[in-house]
Structure 1
Amino acid sequence: MTTITVCATKGGVGKTTVTANLGGYLADHGAKVLIIDADVQPTLSSYYGLNGPPASHGLTHLIQSASTEEAISHTGISGLDLIYSDDPEGELQHWIARTPDGRFRIRRALESIQNDYDFILIDTQGAVGGLQDAAIIAADLLVSPITPEMLSAREFLRGTVQMLERLGDLQYLGFERPPLIGVLNRMDKTRDAKDIASQIRELAAAHPELEIRIAETAIPATVAYRKAASIQMPVHRIETSRSGPTLSALETMQRLIKNLGIEITLPTREDKA
């Protein structure tokens, strides 16, 4: 089982979109996938429709009980399950801060289902705090979307690097800082976007000690991603080809999976049929 946490200290960079579409792509290619909505704004929780009634519990139970029991809902995407967010007031942040092992609760809960899933993807809120820390501590790999804007680039360097440096202090508790891969998101064809993307790559290269790298594949700014969210479908299903130099959503997801170092050796669901 591989746990991937999608995180950023800046909101509005597309964490939920990346989480949902990575999960949908992996599930469509035969993997058993669990997505966890660890954001107080429960966008991921409703990204896909459910197959049947929701589970009795959600994120609050997962963390406070360190258990997934009765907290896993099944989406309408075959092979894709969900733990929904049920903390609209942000009380979990305070609970985690008051609990000595609070930031390790997600990690402990996922240990009990490590044989049930091939991948677990955790969506996080765009703010530093105990809930984001817990999601990062549970991860084998961190993925950070970055929009090609100067403010986003600066926040990636300042916020993300500070976050990793802070969590590095937990090494004495057995936490090993996972590598981080930045993914350029909503990349348009302007010269400004290309220049900022180059600066982002230079910023990442300046911190080799933090194991930050930028994926070669960028997610383009196309309407397919908004359309996919509106009809509750993984984007690779609705845009399989595209004319011109811009990659289709299917090609983007295929290349991004390789950039992340994820190997899919399972047969697709179509092959199984």
Structure 2
Amino acid sequence: MTRMLAIANQKGGVAKTTTVASLGAALADLDVSVLVVDLDPQGCLTFSLGHDPDQLEVSVHDVLLGEEEIADVLLDTDDNVTLLPATIDLAGAEALLLMRPGREYALKRALAEVAEDYDVILIDCPPSLGVLTLNGLTAADEVVVPLQCEMLAHRGVGQLLRTVKEVQQITNPGLTMLGAVATLFDARTTHSRDVLSDVSDRYELPVLDPPIPRTVRFAEASASGTSVMRGRKNKGANAYRSLAENLWKHWDAGQKVRTLESGI
């Protein structure tokens, strides 16, 4: 059965797109068939997987509006994951979708046409709580929140959790909150540990194991349009491989997701 995971946080700069790209590549390395969906009009996921959004003629924008079949828009990548790309046109889709009945279900309907071809579908939601994020949450089985381990990084988490609860009540009763993924984590500082402890206690939100360490390799990979999973080994890639194994054991073998203890 295909598992659909939404990666969502309305705050930017929390390594959301890096998490989708790296987790997708790590799952592919486990021989899992993966589709990644770029729902951000900035097209950062599309670029990070080697495709220039400015050069694409069709994208998820056309799929959501019913103007293209999803199978005709999918792209291959060097990371062995399939990509449903985004372009700046997606910014206009939000306004157009608002005028349509059942707007929250557009992505779910499109993915249903290809879901059986993949083991896992990862959805990169935009840094907002608009109709595109609602589409991602409505289509998904589960959701995780990338959370930067810095002061004030968890502002807005409560609002996101309220949105998830509303989606569970209205458009997707089966949606499950898996927890947070700690990004930009520095194990040497008490500050990072304090942030995670606060989030765990305040929102009763489990933190998935392992935390993702801060490393310059993520910025280098994004700038070059390649995945951090490729090239020489690094601690960031190793952490995402461990996270992928954690999630795949949960999906494939029914094991409970491994989480960090409160007050790391």
1:245 aligns with none
1:166 aligns with 166
**What whole-Å deviation, never above 9, does each CA across 1:72-129 have from its counterpart, x for those lacking one?**
111122x311111124472111122211111101111111112211111111111111
Q: Judging changes above 3 Å, is the alpha-carbon distance between structure 1 residues 121 and 226 closer, same or farther for their aligned structure 2 residues?
A: same
How far did residue 175 of structure 1 move? 3.7
2:242 aligns with 255
Name the CA distance, whole Å, in 1 between partners of 2:91 and 2:56: 20
How far did residue 251 of structure 1 move? 2.8
2:211 aligns with 218
1:69 aligns with 71
Name the CA distance, whole Å, in 2 between partners of 1:102 and 1:184: 31
- Give the counterpart of 2:228 among 235, 238, 242: 235
2:93 aligns with 92
- For 2:75, give the aligned amino acid: S
Output the aligned Cα RMSD: 2.4
Name the CA distance, whole Å, in 2 between partners of 1:180 and 1:31: 20
2:36 aligns with 35
Contact 1:59-1:71 within 8 A present in 2 as well: yes
SS at match of 2:191: helix
SS at match of 1:216: coil
**What whole-Å deviation, never above 9, does each CA across 1:165-224 have from its counterpart, x for those lacking one?**
2223315xx64222232011001232222211211111232xxxxxx4211311101112
1:268 aligns with none
- For 1:196, give the aligned amino acid: V
Q: Judging changes above 3 Å, is the alpha-carbon distance between structure 1 residues 88 and 67 closer, same or farther for their aligned structure 2 residues?
A: closer
Contact 2:141-2:174 within 8 A present in 1 as well: no
2:194 aligns with 195
Q: Judging changes above 3 Å, is the alpha-carbon distance between structure 1 residues 201 and 235 closer, same or farther for their aligned structure 2 residues?
A: same
2:11 aligns with 10
Q: Judging changes above 3 Å, is the alpha-carbon distance between structure 1 residues 72 and 12 closer, same or farther for their aligned structure 2 residues?
A: same
1:110 aligns with 111
Name the CA distance, whole Å, in 2 between partners of 1:237 and 1:57: 27
Q: Which moved more, 1:87-96 or 1:56-65?
A: 87-96
Name the CA distance, whole Å, in 2 between partners of 1:89 and 1:72: 16
Report the number of matched residues: 247
SS at match of 1:183: strand
2:145 aligns with 144
Contact 1:5-1:143 within 8 A present in 2 as well: yes
- For 1:170, give the aligned amino acid: I
How far did residue 36 of structure 1 move? 1.1
Contact 1:25-1:253 within 8 A present in 2 as well: yes
1:185 aligns with 183
**What whole-Å deviation, never above 9, does each CA across 1:39-70 have from its counterpart, x for those lacking one?**
111111111225xxx87521112211184131
SS at match of 1:233: coil
Percent of pairs identical after alignment? 24
Name the CA distance, whole Å, in 1 between partners of 2:190 and 2:71: 50
Structure 1 runs (4+) deviating above 4 angstroms are: 261-265
Contact 2:35-2:122 within 8 A present in 1 as well: yes
Name the CA distance, whole Å, in 1 between partners of 2:130 and 2:8: 12
Q: Which runs of 5+ in 2 are unaligned?
A: 253-264
Contact 2:42-2:87 within 8 A present in 1 as well: no
- For 1:179, give the aligned amino acid: M
Contact 2:56-2:87 within 8 A present in 1 as well: no
Q: Under a length normalisation based on structure 1, what TM-score does the superposition of the two structures give?
A: 0.82
Q: Judging changes above 3 Å, is the alpha-carbon distance between structure 1 residues 17 and 163 closer, same or farther for their aligned structure 2 residues?
A: same
Contact 1:39-1:124 within 8 A present in 2 as well: yes
